[in-house]
Amino acid sequence: DAGVIQSPRHEVTEMGQEVTLRCKPISGHDYLFWYRQTMMRGLELLIYFNNNVPIDDSGMPEDRFSAKMPNASFSTLKIQPSEPRDSAVYFCASSPRQGGNYGYTFGSGTRLTVV
């Protein structure tokens, strides 16, 4: 099992550009989570999906952020237009069930820098 796969690993973009982050969850995992990590705010949940359906997007900062999960093996997080304050490490995680005892498997993250 290759684990949760995120791409790209690093992204540097100019302010105002569109950024798309990608995630492939572990096969058979029904839950997918997008987190953002910064030094100031730590790990924050942005949105999560159950069986490809968004369940809670209350953590999405503003309308510039959008997430989709067109099928069970792929999800995207899009930022348009990007701003310097969006610079962070974005993690995708998946889980077979709801509940911490199953453990959330995290990807290695995408380090986004907006200049």
Partner 1 sequence: QKEVEQDPGPLSVPEGAIVSLNCTYSNSAFQYFMWYRQYSRKGPELLMYTYSSGNKEDGRFTAQVDKSSKYISLFIRDSQPSDSATYLCATHTSNTGKLIFGQGTTLQVKP
CB of 16 to partner 1, least distance (A): 28
Beta strands in 1-115, from DSSP E residues, in sequence order? 5-7, 10-13, 19-24, 31-38, 42-50, 53-56, 65-71, 74-79, 88-95, 105-106, 110-114
CB of 81 to partner 1, least distance (A): 27
Beta partners for residue 24, in sequence order:
5
| Residue among 65 and 91 whose Cβ is closer to partner 1 | 91
CB of 91 to partner 1, least distance (A): 5
Binding residues for partner 1, rule: CB under 8 A, are: 4, 31, 33, 42-45, 48, 56, 91, 93, 95, 97-101, 103-109
